[in-house]
Amino acid sequence: MVFSSLLFLFAFLPVTLALYYAIPNRKARNWVLFVLSLIFYGWGEPVYILVMLASITEAWGFGFLIAKYRVSAPKKARGWMAVSLFCNLAALLFFKYANFFIGNLRLIPLFTETLSPIEGLTLPIGISFYTFQIMSYTIDLYRGQTDVQRNYVAFGAYVTLFPQLIAGPIVRYRDVDDQLTERRETLPLFSSGVRRFLIGLGKKVLIGDACARVYEYAKATAGFHPTAAAAWMTVIFYTLHIYYDFSGYSDMAIGLGRMFGFRFLENFNYPYVSQSITEFWRRWHMSLGTWFKEYVYIPLGGNRVGKFKQFRNIAVVWFLTGFWHGANWNYILWGVYFGVILVAEKTFLLRAMEKTPSVLRRLYALLLIGFGWILFSFTDMAAGWQCFRSLFGIGTEAFCTPTVGYEFLRALPLLILAAVGATPLPKSVWDTLAERDWTAEGAVDAKGNEIPVPDAPLGTRGKVFGILTAVGCFGILLVSTAYLVDSTFSPFLYFIF
């Protein structure tokens, strides 16, 4: 089940909200979230509910042992933490990477006949995300940064919470531990959640899916009749597609969380306005970057060690980041690609670009981001290499064909809309005109500070814009519904991870 489906919008979500708010007791509400989140997760493949429940039960049980020995016998606590982490990582490695390892080993003559792929092995949706969340609980508990969760349902609700279960944001346990038992649902928070959800729905259905159609056309054209124009269309529209698809999902997840009283981390902060790759990765998929920083980079020594070890730490993090995204070499190369750029920026590039005009720095970042998306989107690396060469007219039939030119002109309004929408400009203009009053009923940032969200606007003009906001959100719902009725199934890109 996906957020941008008629089943979710007009059946699952209304029923869940009705049941949730019909029950005043907090523990009972956690039961509602736990059970209905399991139904949400298992709608397509119920068997993988058992895998998730096993992971939940294992981490919850070992949590008591970690808490018991954390102070009196730290080595025992560390051992139980290691066992818990091993169990969770073993499940992830088996389901996600077993056939990848087997396939690569079969390239060695010794294993060609002795090893065979595991038939029928499919990837449980969201396992990469919920595994990292469970691991955050185990590690934070060992570090003494949170208390043991004694209520199985509360812990289960944390892991399975359907708004962020499938594709994030990755929510660290300590960021929501109090909210599991003491969250406060308010009308302003709920209404801001509805707005955020509908904005995300529009980003995904109306812009992201439209960019996907142009991207698929350009990619197919570039493959059969290579031209520089088709290759650039492929890169540009995939760059926009993945942003609107993934950030749209994150907006919907954050909005849904607010509807149920939860305040999740922000996951995107206009990444395409970045002036370096270092800045880009502070703005893109922020919850994943925070996770790797806290649980891998800093434990390895972070920036507190010598230059060589810093570069080693960056290399480890970005190899793992690429590997986390998928069981294919293109994802690993994608991670290594960004790791190399980040090392170069840390060493000399950022200093060299200090006096460069901001427009050129943004162009530099966008080009490197776009080249990276070629690695990311082409699992067939030969096809990806052909696309990259075509950008510069190498091995192409022409710069552009009449058909490609026509399709580009048709897509030009979408390109302008999507490009402007990926900047802070529309929100800045709207908030200025609306004279909004900013309240603290918002999400929290990576440091736990509250990020305010707009409450009811003040003044006559503010009231008018409040009405326009409501009308606009309702319009997004209507138009998105019309598209969904008439479209084929379009899952979120990050569901495959």
- Which residues carry out catalysis? 325
DSSP string across 67-127: HHHTTT-HHHHHHHHHHHHHHHHHHHHHHHHHHHHHHHHTTSHHHHTT----TT--PPTTH
Given phi > 0 = left and psi -120 to 50 = alpha, else beta, which region is 71?
Answer: alpha
Give the type of residue at 331: Y
Cα(87)–Cα(55) distance, integer angstroms:
8
Task: Count CB neighbours of 435 within 10 A.
Answer: 14
Token digits of residue 116? 């065979």
Q: Please give the distance of CA 405 from its chain centroid, rounded to a whole number.
A: 33
Strand, coil or helix: what is 291?
A: helix
Cα(326)–Cα(497) distance, integer angstroms:
6
| Host H or E run for residue 452 | strand 450-454
Per-residue buried b or exposed e for 461-479, using 16+ beta carbons within 10 Å of the residue's own CB: ebeebbeebeebbeebbee
CB 170 within 8 A of CB 288: yes
Cα(21)–Cα(34) distance, integer angstroms:
15
